[in-house]
Structure 1
Amino acid sequence: MKDEGISALSSMLIIQFKDKWKHLNQVIDKVPEKKFHVGRKNWRFSWVLFHIIETADFYSRDTPDTMKWGKKAGFDWEKSSKEEIVENKLTITKNMLREYSKEIEQRIEQFLNDVSDEELLKKDSFHWFDSILGKLVYMLRHNAFHIGELARILRGWDGERFKW
């Protein structure tokens, strides 16, 4: 970890992550309750919100091996039946998503406050990324893609735009 002060890369990333969480929370707030679980097959509004947060949870770790996919929604992707997964996904609430996103937001911000630029350029156990920085940029891009999808759906429902 770094000696003192926040690194230049961390400072830039903290700003980008804060904006991402702000946009995500606006989408959560603006989706009407009656539309929250609307969608087709495996693509429902609430599930995409959960996916955004769950992947941020995954990529904010230093190893992929500790992730328990679906745990926060009460199921296990590898052991639960398809019916159990669907049933548990339908119990996802806006409050649950807000709490989960806050937990991951705090984890990422703490990490970025503690890490040096040099450490961000190192690899971790996510072997498919060249660096921790690359992994974090991918996470931001992935999450922004899905937030954009959801924002477009809200506009199609004549919902209020969220503030950029």
Structure 2
Amino acid sequence: MNKKLLCAGIALAALAGGLFVGCSSDTFERCVPRKSAEVSSADLEGSYRGSGDADRTTITLKTTPGQFGGTMTVRKWPSSDFPRYGKDQTFDGSGTWQVDKTADSGKYPMVRLSFDEPDALTTVNTVDLLSIGVDSKRTALYDEADPDTCPAFRLERG
């Protein structure tokens, strides 16, 4: 049976009975792996393909020895930090990336992107801070707008 339909059925039955039961992401397979507190730049190196609002988007991360990151290239990257509403406004570019463990990323490290190309006017409002999810099968980078929903802008290494 479809997991989403099963979850919806359980929630409806619970509501009919006067109870509130959520279908948490722990109940079924997550659309992205859990955030990882322990990740190195070497763990993240590789090419990622987008899905959801990141459909047709790619990013390639290469490490630089001795640093917490390296260089990156992007294709069809959104010019807006709301990719759903500006899908036709994308750019190809390059720059650097790093695993950011500063206070604004909380207890989980994030990937911070700095674009060299194209110019700053194109990249000023883009997605440039991504959460990192890792499990035994997948590594994903995603823009976590709402931790209770599947991230709309997500890329998986493949």
**With structure 2 as the length reference, what TM-score do the two structures score?**
0.30
Report the structure number with the largest CA radius of gyration: 2
Higher helix proportion: 1
* Higher RCO structure, 1 or 2 (CA under 8 Å, sep 6+): 1
Higher strand proportion: 2
